[in-house]
Structure 1
């Protein structure tokens, strides 16, 4: 039988490798072409690059086993902060909503087929935390790296969409800008964007720590 902690560690390593590989690839392209020329070529491709990033991010949320953070960095680096943030936020809003409704209407069986047996335990654990009873805890969980699992788990509860939607919107507005700004700031040389992104990511790390601590207490 698979060890959940080992699987979680493997997922973390794969996510890190995906982010590192994608970031390295973008850096190589930027050094070779220059950010201005690279973005000019992106503009020549029209909607295909934004659409591609949207599809990748959307899929990585609906299928939580796939890493999605790298696409936020990619969106910021190739599309700039404003357009990149818009693409990521729309992708998150639609994909998280889809995950919620799939879980709500089709139940645990479909969720298991979508994400696999190895990840369904995490969904069950989150469902048992009764996140729907605490709006701020639910919002905090949606701002962490396991927000994709949270959408499925909340859908399995009796939480109405009218209560889930504000938490989802708030989490998207707060958690996405720092990561997209990091991608944009790294390749634009923008000290303000970089400073904002680092402060934002530090804040998200604190929120993640608080959320994990409260979830552990609620589980005891």
Structure 2
């Protein structure tokens, strides 16, 4: 095994471990928020947000950027948490700003650093799997647009591939800016409804 390949595998393992830790931490924080009454009492939620001040939204947006570029915390979990903490309108806006920013960062990182960087992030097995059916010219563009619109695809990985396959920047921008909000609304508001309906009652 080459030293370069070993470094890729080692970095991928570290990222996976951090991702698992981030998942459990996110779930813990959501349940802590519920137990503290942040999701059931408007007064307590308002007091919590006031204590955060202007740093609260900024920290959350930064968190969303980081989770897109490096999957420390699963995006679905943090997006739902944003809506629960900041409310449907502000939470969705903050989610949108953070995720869109992270998507552009992924696109340009993959475009600049190439295949090795993407392999380091997602692992060699996933890289081979995605490459088989995503490297098909214009078909990828159509698949990418549909995947961004629907709330079921690994957007962070697809943005990496968009950069890796040199998708036209104008097309990428239009898809992210105008199709991402719809999947985000479905994902976050649907997730909030599920949590409040089945878990927090």
Question: Which residue does the alignment assign to 1:150?
Answer: 158
The Cα RMSD (Å) is 3.3
Say if 2:66 and 2:72, in contact at 8 Å, map to a contact too: no
How many residues end up aligned between the 2 structures?
Answer: 179
Partner of 2:175: 167
Distance verdict in 2 for CA 1:123–1:134, change over 3 Å: closer
Cα distance in 1, alignment partners of residues 29 and 131 from structure 2: 32
Contact 2:63–2:98 (Cα < 8 Å) also in 1? no
- Structure 1 segments unaligned to the other structure (5+ residues): 1-6, 195-220
Q: Would the aligned equivalents of 1:42 and 1:49 in 2 still touch at CA under 8 Å?
A: yes
Per-residue deviation at 1:79? 0.7
Distance (Å, rounded) in 2 between the aligned partners of 1:178 and 1:172: 10
Tell me the SS of whatever aligns to 2:74: coil
Return the match for 2:34 from 24, 27, 38: 27
The equivalent of 2:143 in structure 1 is 137
Structure 2 alignment gaps of length 5 or more: 1-12
Residues 18 and 67 of structure 1 are in contact (CA less than 8 Å); yes or no, is this contact kept in structure 2?
Answer: no
> TM-score when scaled to structure 1?
0.66
- Return the alpha-carbon distance in structure 1 between the equivalents of residues 101 and 77 of structure 2: 18
Contact in 2 for aligned 1:73/1:184 (Cα 8 Å): yes
Q: CA deviation at 1:175?
A: 0.7
